[in-house]
Structure 1
Amino acid sequence: MMTSFALLCLSIAIIECMAGILGNGIILAASSSSCIGSKTWPPYDMIVISLSSSRFIVQSWNTLDSLMTIFYENFYYTENVYLVPKTIFTFLSYSSLWFGAWLSVFYSIKVASFTQSFFIWLKLRIARLVPWMLLTSWLCSFTAAISFVWDDHSVHENSTAPSSMTNSSAWTTTRKDSLGLLILISNAGIGMPLILSVVSSVLLIRSLWIHTRRMQNNASGFRDPSLEAHLKAIKSVCSFLFLYIIYFICVLFILFNIFSHLSNGEMICVVLMAACPTGHSFVIIWSNPKFQKLPARIWHHTNCPIRTSSLHSFLSIK
């Protein structure tokens, strides 16, 4: 039975997802427009297009999921029906985590200044590696999602089997084996992008902080645009890392069914899972002038006819 708190949280999550759809749509449109007509796509645009498109789809799906939960709860959460949306949610969540991690790795390789030979090797070859990185992410996400839900479904079948047909100790052993396989698959699907994101973000923050301290020591007292750009980049990376970790924890809680269905804990996770990708999308827009220009152009074209008609009305009155 849905409580008033659950209804409130689902409504907030829908609003957050709608804002995220708008933000990711802006990023996707701006990145795609710069790639249309070009034979080779820049690696940054390839990552951002993959990330924004996956988040656009996952937040659209979460909006539909929340609406189905509100209006068709009894039908939607039956075993046979709920298996499909959980598979889709798992795949989209894994994909979003992978692409977000690759964006952090790309930032770190391109911006950070390290002299290690492996780092230099990556910097020279990152453009050729990006398509393979993205393809591998799709395959890993698909495999992990199918395996995860298959294992979860097997555990559910064992738990609902009649006692006359299932030995209690055998069921416990099967459940432990299934849980171990589930943990292994989850670590392969979620743990690796989390490690990549944290390590690359920490390295990038360290590199930017070192450069910022040097600029502050050499500052002449006037406003330095380079110093402000470095401080803005540090804030962006820290914000992304914070939002990424929260999103990772919430996805883990939902996939492992840590909280009971429609409990306060699960609803808080749903709200945070909708808020974190939305927040990161607007951080990307805020930190990149290319993404800021598209809303300004849309706003300008939207207001131009209004201003023109207002001017004509004013002249006619005169």
Structure 2
Amino acid sequence: MGPVLHSISTTAVVAEFILGNLSNGLIVLNNCIDWINKRELSPVDQILIILAISRVTLLWETIFIWVKTQSISFITREELKILVFCWILSSHFCLWIATALSIFYLLRIANFWQIFLYLKWRPKQLIVGVLLGSLAFLLANLMQMSITLEEWLNQYGGNTTVNFMETDYTLFSELIIFKMIMFSVTPFSLALISLLLLILSLWKHLQKMQLNSRGHGDPSTKAHRNAMKIIVSFLLVYTIYFLSLLITWVAKKNHSELVQIICMITGLTYPSIHSLILILGNSKLKQTYLLILRHLGYRLKGQNIPTI
């Protein structure tokens, strides 16, 4: 890879890394301040905090792997195991907590079936149940990864280090892709079902509004649409993330470094861009975000921040 392309790709990766940390950091900081001031935190804010922390962890692990692949060719067995298992843990919680957020929006808004009315009063219990159930998938994933990784590492005999580039290809072919396909189907399907049920709930709500001769600008309609935007954005960026990993695997097999770099940049949109979308879809976080941007604008212009 030429120096110009390397500089461009590095700049893009660093920019997404910074954006992801700032977006997720804002979610954590703003909600923690509210927690301290009000002595309580809503369920959606609790989910957002945990999701933001897991995404920050995923961003740091991804950038660490990026630096490793750019700087060295060999890695120790223990370092490889730590990288793999840490990546599995963070990506697992990023996916399942985002799915839990989709389910929470569905429960809070939809009300066209009796079961939704029943679950509306027990959102915490359901979300905790979903996350606890996901631990079974996590355990199965870790066990499968451990077995596959040990079988591959045994090919090196007593060597304490392995070729990182060859290891990288093996991880994508046997571990990462298998994990994404087998262990992402359930949470992705749950988020997709949540979206479809929200669409159905919105359709029934609009029919009811038409019968009552009311417009489409009522609060319930806006809540439906806002929740749908958040879930659609999650499904979209996660699909892009999955496809980037899949294409990276093919690119490594064909030794196409340019495609790998593009997929790396594209994949980072999942833990960074979606968090920014969550901020813009949350009135409280959006207000803080716009306030920070306005203050930065005054600072860059060398002007004093006006007091209200």
Q: Spell out the pairing of 1:20-169 with structure 2 (5 A cutoff).
A: 20-36=20-36, 41-70=41-70, 72-75=71-74, 77=75, 79-117=77-115, 119-137=116-134, 140-141=137-138, 143-144=139-140, 146-157=142-153, 159-160=155-156
Q: Is there any run of 5+ residues in structure 2 with no aligned partner, and where?
A: 159-173
Cα deviations by residue, 1:281-302 (Å, 9 ceiling, x for unpaired): 1111111111012234445666
Look up the match of 1:206. 200
TM-align CA RMSD: 3.9
Q: Is there any run of 5+ residues in structure 1 with no aligned partner, and where?
A: 163-178, 312-318
Q: What is the TM-score with the length of structure 1 in the denominator?
A: 0.72
Look up the match of 1:166. none
Q: Aligned with 1:36: secondary structure?
A: helix
Identity of aligned residues (%): 26
Question: Which AA in structure 2 matches 1:46?
Answer: Q
CA 1:208–1:134: 2 relative to 1, 3 Å: same
CA 1:38–1:130: 2 relative to 1, 3 Å: farther
Contact 2:279–2:289 (8 Å) recurs in 1:
no
Distance 2:277 2:89 in 1: 24
Q: What is the TM-score with the length of structure 2 in the denominator?
A: 0.74
Cα deviations by residue, 1:3-23 (Å, 9 ceiling, x for unpaired): 975764454233212111111
Contact 1:44–1:106 (8 Å) recurs in 2:
yes
Higher radius of gyration, 1 or 2: 1
Cα deviations by residue, 1:36-59 (Å, 9 ceiling, x for unpaired): 366654321221111111011211
CA 1:290–1:12: 2 relative to 1, 3 Å: same
Moved more, 39-48 or 269-278: 39-48
Question: Which AA in structure 2 matches 1:43?
Answer: P
Contact 1:87–1:145 (8 Å) recurs in 2:
no
Moved more, 25-34 or 50-59: 25-34
TM-superposed deviation, 1:92: 0.8
Question: Which AA in structure 1 matches 2:151?
Answer: V
Q: Aligned with 1:246: secondary structure?
A: helix
Distance 1:132 1:269 in 2: 34
Cα deviations by residue, 1:206-252 (Å, 9 ceiling, x for unpaired): 3224434655787778x936455544443333222212232344456
Moved more, 268-277 or 295-304: 295-304
Contact 1:205–1:234 (8 Å) recurs in 2:
yes
Aligned residues: 287
Distance 1:266 1:126 in 2: 41
